[in-house]
Amino acid sequence: MDLKELELIGPDQERHWYYASKSHALLRALGDYQPRRILDVGAGSGFFSRVLLRDTAAQSAVCVDPGYVEERSELYFEKPLTFRRTIPAEDADLVLLMDVLEHVDDDVGLLRDVRSRVGPRARFIVSVPAFSWMWSRHDEFLEHRRRYTRKHLCRLLAAAGLRPLAGFYMFAAIFPAVAGQRLWQRVRPSAGPPTSDLRQHGGWSNTLLTRLCIAESAIARHNRAFGLTAFGIAENTSP
């Protein structure tokens, strides 16, 4: 989770439609894979690690983000949850990079660095914003470098020495509305500094979006066509 977005949607991320449905998509992406130790790179608040510690058999998680003010450790559901500013060498069997690669200049280099620090056969789950033509002031606000297609992401994973297992899109249900909005913003650009599209929603709209996108998450792994987010699943091939 981007720390800048946390300031916009408030502390109750789990009830926000975007993160509620994205956590469901993450759990679906795991399939039958049962992680024990999680390395969450660019973790922000640690939201996704907390979901996995609560809802899977994972026993520990290390969250890494250079934006942390201090390093610390705590227990979550009686499981160790650690926050670090730099990436440690970790015997992790699940690596998360949720909306991280788009922030760095050398995305392949970051993946290679992380791959070198985890155990063999570790599973990687990566999410990134989709489609360059969807670039908007939202990307500028979050300091993105680029957006990706599903195929581009899978090629990137392979270039980093990982074995791609699957790629799919999420948030197809709201894609037409968001695409229309962003194309309109190009026709009628707003004055002032860039802003995020993500914000708090009222009860009925948040509930509607949550139910719609959670329902989509059940079948998203089969979506090779379009969506706001591209997911990639890969495996570490190093000995």
Residues 84-93: pLDDT tens digits?
999 998 889 9
Predicted confidence (pLDDT) per residue in 46-104, tens digit: 999 999 999 999 999 999 999 899 999 999 999 999 999 999 988 899 999 999 999 99
Q: pTM for the full model? A: 0.93
Identify the DSSP state of 31: T
> What range does the domain containing 22 cover?
3-236
Please say if the pLDDT value at position 24 is more than 70: yes
Burial 162-196 (b: 16+ CB within 10 A, else e): bebbbbbbbbbbbbeebbeebeeeeeeeeeeeeeb
Task: Give residue 43's pLDDT.
Answer: 95
Q: Looking at 124-133, 142-151, 178-187, which range is the least confident one?
A: 178-187
Please tell me the total count of domains within the chain. Answer: 1
Q: Quick check: 239 pLDDT over 70?
A: no
5, exposed or middle or buried, with CB in 10 Å at 0-12, 13-18, 19+? buried
Predicted confidence band at 187 (pLDDT cuts at 50, 70, 90)? confident
Nearest 5 degrees, angle CA 66-CA 72-CA 78?
Answer: 125
Question: Which pLDDT belongs to residue 237?
Answer: 86
Q: What is the CATH number of the domain that holds 43?
A: 3.40.50.150
